[in-house]
Each structure stands twice: as structure tokens, then as C-alpha cells.
Amino acid sequence: MSNDLAALLGGAPVRDQPMPVYNTIGEEEKKAVMEVLDSGVLSGFAAQPNDDHLGGPVVRGLEDSFCTTFGTRYAIAVNSATSALHAAVSAMKVGPGDEVIVPPYTMTASATAVLFTGAVPIFADIDDEVFCLDPRSVQARITPRTRGVMAVNLYGHPAPLIELKKLCDRHGLFLIEDNAQAPLAKIDGRYAGTIGDAGIFSMNRHKAMQAGEGGLVICNDREIAERCRLMRNHGEVLVDAFGMEDITNTVGLNYRITNLSAAVARAQFAKLPALTEPRVRLAERLSKGLSQIPGITPPVVRDGCTHVYYFFTMKYDAEVTGLPRKLFTDAVRAEGFPINPGYVKPLYLEPMYQKRICFGSNGAPFSFNPHIDENTYRRGICPVVERLQDSDLMWTNVTYPPLTEKDMDAFVEACAKVIRNRGRLLAKEWNSAAE
């Protein structure tokens, strides 16, 4: 049997070992957690008009670390990036009847954070180079009801933040950055997450830095910071004590992060540069190899930007490779490497948007806006997103230690091997379909 026979056809796979676990937890995190456990204070929060409203020293230490690194005046740590997004949108005083422009190719919380305020997300298309909001599509979606824009720095590359900020300033809109996937990425020498009015970070279990769960808002505006803190910690019983006259969106939840999670997050954040460097190095090696394979386009890094490669995304051209995308990805997986066709279903195609049902059975908050109808979320409103999801985009997550440059070369060989076997792979698929 030829070593060049595709594994999907019965040949030997390029990689015959399972992918290693990516474990970034070390002695630093263990020591930090034990210090919290030994203190006996697992949370420093209380819904009281005193220092306990802000959490204990571990939480504040995490926030100070973010302020120091990113050069912002304020940081507000919460229990998840979803909570951070909700707090940030609420802090912009968004409410029923309002609209916030968001991309549809992102984790669902980017849009549901808007719904939780009673406003509705309006989906703008993305560009097909770095897969972030296209300012031209954003411009076309602005109406008198638009209050702001949420840009997602997807996969580790900054959105066109400078252009989006100018657009928002021109129309009197806020800009929130969902920076969960791009910590330490830069644009024009500035960190992603610091261009907009607020930046959101994630410490979910599979992010570049992780604490199991956790999130954070950074900003430079005192009122935004105060409103995020009220949202984090039962703000409705604190507004009198804090002398707030405008109590819009100050009904709070329990979005408090524990000292345990904050301790892990602070240790992880201190290690973030060291965690990011090998991912970038491995991704650059993989990009170099894949660029030699016609039909596969590795990630683009725009001038003035840095990429931190949360995921390694590729564009795929089936006409060039001669293989349907699903057959290609199935065959590469058989060679021992994870690879996925598409990313997520465009959010507006989910039942909640198609049926315009969210809170209660009468269509709130969609029913609060008379301009929302069956065309608002119809298929076809974002053609670039739909093309990418249906045929053009695929992604992998192999750019992490202890994988090496040799493993990146093996991934490239797996892709090349599959394409060399296209005739036999197509024949097998045709025969299977005919049976």
C-alpha cells in the first residue's frame, strides 16, 4: 500500500497520535489559588455602598493589571465575557426601540448582549479578508434608531477599528470592541480593545488566557465604568448612596467574579505574552507552508496590524483544489489533524431572529421597533458571511505548544496529500452516493 494513499481511502495517516492537550496552568496559578483558599475569603463582594461594592484585593489587582498593560483608566472584572458585553452595552444607556450594529459571524453573546437591554441587533456584513465588520456595510445599516456599533476582533485579528471609530464619531455612535479572541493584538501600534469606548476580554476555558470563566471591560470613561460596576453588583440598591440622578440601566445582576477565578486570571494575564509568542510563531510557519498550496489562502495580516491567532482560519477554493470543502476537511481529519468547514451559522438565521421571538411570546424586544420585519433578518442580507460559511472558510486550532514547527509542516503535508488523492477521493464519494 502506498504511503501516499489518503487515510480516508485506507492509507496511513500523516499523524497517528492524538492531538496533545493545551494546558497553560502552572505553579503560578496554583500558588495564587492556594493564597485565596488560605485566606478563607473566596469573594470580596457585597452589594453595599462601600469598598466591598468593588470586590476584594485579588479582583482589584486583576483590574489594575489590565489598566497598566492597556493604558486605560478603568477595568471592571466580571464572571464572563457575556456578562461584560451586557454590562458594556447597558452602560451606553441603550434601551427598547434602539438598534446596535453587530457582525453576524461571531459567538452569539455579541448579539444577545444587545437584546438583553431591550434593543435589537442589526447585522452588517463582514469583509472576506480578515472576517471582521465591513465599514461600508455598517454605514449602510445606520438609521435614526442606531445607537452604536459592536466590532468583533475575530480569530485574533483587529477589525478596521480606526475606520469604524471615525465612522461612529461622525454619526454620534458608540463603539464597543468584543476583543475576546484578540488580546494583545495591535492596530497602528495601539492594542485592540482600546480604540472603542469600551473593550471586552474573555477568560473562558478555551481562550488565550483562561480562568475557567471570567470577563473584563476596559474603558477610559468614568460613567461607563461606574455603570458597568452597578450592572455587576445589584446596582439598583446603590444608586441613592452614590448620588446618581440618571439611573438608566442600573438594575444590576450578580456578575461578580470570585477571588479564585480572579487569582487564576491574574496569573494567566501575566503569562499572556509568553503564551502568545509560540502561537504566532507556529501560525506563521503554517501560513508559509499553506501559501504554497493553490486553493488554500492562509490568514491575512493587514499592514499596521498584528495577529494573535486564536484560531487559524483559511479561505478555500474548491474550484482550484478540485475537491468539495467538506470532502477536503473530512480527508484532512482522517490524516490526524482537526479542521472544520465554516465557523458558525450566521446569527440572523437562528430561530430567535427568524421568528423574532425572544422575551415572552409577543416578539419583545423586536416588537418595540416598528421597522423590524420579515426582511430584517432574511437570508441574503450579508452575502459575504453566507458565502464564507457555506463554501469558502475553514479553520483549525493546531498552533499551540507542545506542537512544533515540524507538526505545522505535517499539517501542510496532510493538506497536500489530500489534494494529490483528489481523483480517488472523488471516485469514492461518487460510488458512495450511487449506492
Report, as an integer, the average pLDDT of 200-206.
94
Does the domain made of 27-271 have the CATH classification 3.40.640.10?
yes
In single-letter form, the type of residue at position 208 comes to A
Nearest to 178 by CA among 260, 284, 95, 101: 101
Report, as an integer, the average pLDDT of 255-268.
97
Report, as an integer, the average pLDDT of 259-288.
97
Q: What is the mean pLDDT of the chain?
A: 96
CB pairs under 8 A, 24+ apart, for 9-15? 9/421, 9/424, 9/425, 9/428, 13/334, 13/335, 13/336, 13/414, 14/335, 14/336, 14/337, 14/410, 14/413, 14/414, 14/417, 15/335, 15/336, 15/337, 15/407, 15/410, 15/414
User: In the chain, what percentage of residues exceed pLDDT 70?
Assistant: 98
Q: What does the pLDDT read at residue 31?
A: 98
Do 27-271 and 7-24+272-343+387-434 have the same topology in CATH? no
Give the pLDDT band (50/70/90) at residue 428.
Answer: confident
**Are the C-beta atoms of residues 399 and 309 closer than 8 Å to each other?**
yes
Quick check: pTM over 0.85?
yes
Nearest to 181 by CA among 164, 200, 168, 195: 200
Identify the weakest region by mean pLDDT among 230-234, 252-256, 426-430: 426-430
According to DSSP, the residues that pair with 133 across neighbouring strands are 126
Cell numbers for 371: 421597522
Sequential DSSP letters for 174-201: EEEEE-TT-TT-EETTEETTSSSSEEEE
The pLDDT of residue 153 is above 90: yes
Q: What does the pLDDT read at residue 326?
A: 97
Identify the weakest region by mean pLDDT among 48-57, 90-99, 173-182, 304-313: 48-57
The pLDDT of residue 158 is above 50: yes
Cell numbers for 353: 431572529
Strand, coil or helix: 340: strand
pLDDT tens for 285-327 read 999 999 999 999 999 999 999 999 999 999 999 999 999 999 9
According to DSSP, the residues that pair with 175 across neighbouring strands are 149
CA angle 432, 433, 435 (to 5 degrees): 65
Number of Cβ within a 10 Å radius of residue 306: 20
Sheet containing 340-341: order of strands = 296-297, 312-316, 393-396, 340-341
Residues 381, 143, 353, 366, Cα dihedral to 10°: -160
According to DSSP, the residues that pair with 148 across neighbouring strands are 100, 174
Report, as an integer, the average pLDDT of 379-395.
98
pLDDT tens for 126-139 read 999 999 999 999 99
Q: What does the pLDDT read at residue 1?
A: 39
Report, as an integer, the average pLDDT of 267-283.
97
Q: How far apart are alpha carbons 386 and 392 in whole angstroms?
A: 9
Cα 280 → chain centroid? 17
Question: Which CATH code, of 3.40.50.300, 3.90.1150.10, 3.20.20.70, 3.90.1580.10, is assigned to 7-24+272-343+387-434?
Answer: 3.90.1150.10
pLDDT tens for 76-91 read 999 999 999 999 999 9
Domain limits of the chain? 7-24+272-343+387-434, 27-271
Burial per residue of 412-434, b for 16 or more beta-carbon CB atoms within 10 angstroms, e otherwise: bebbbbbbebbeebeebbeeeee
CA angle 435, 316, 412 (to 5 degrees): 95
Q: What does the pLDDT read at residue 430?
A: 75
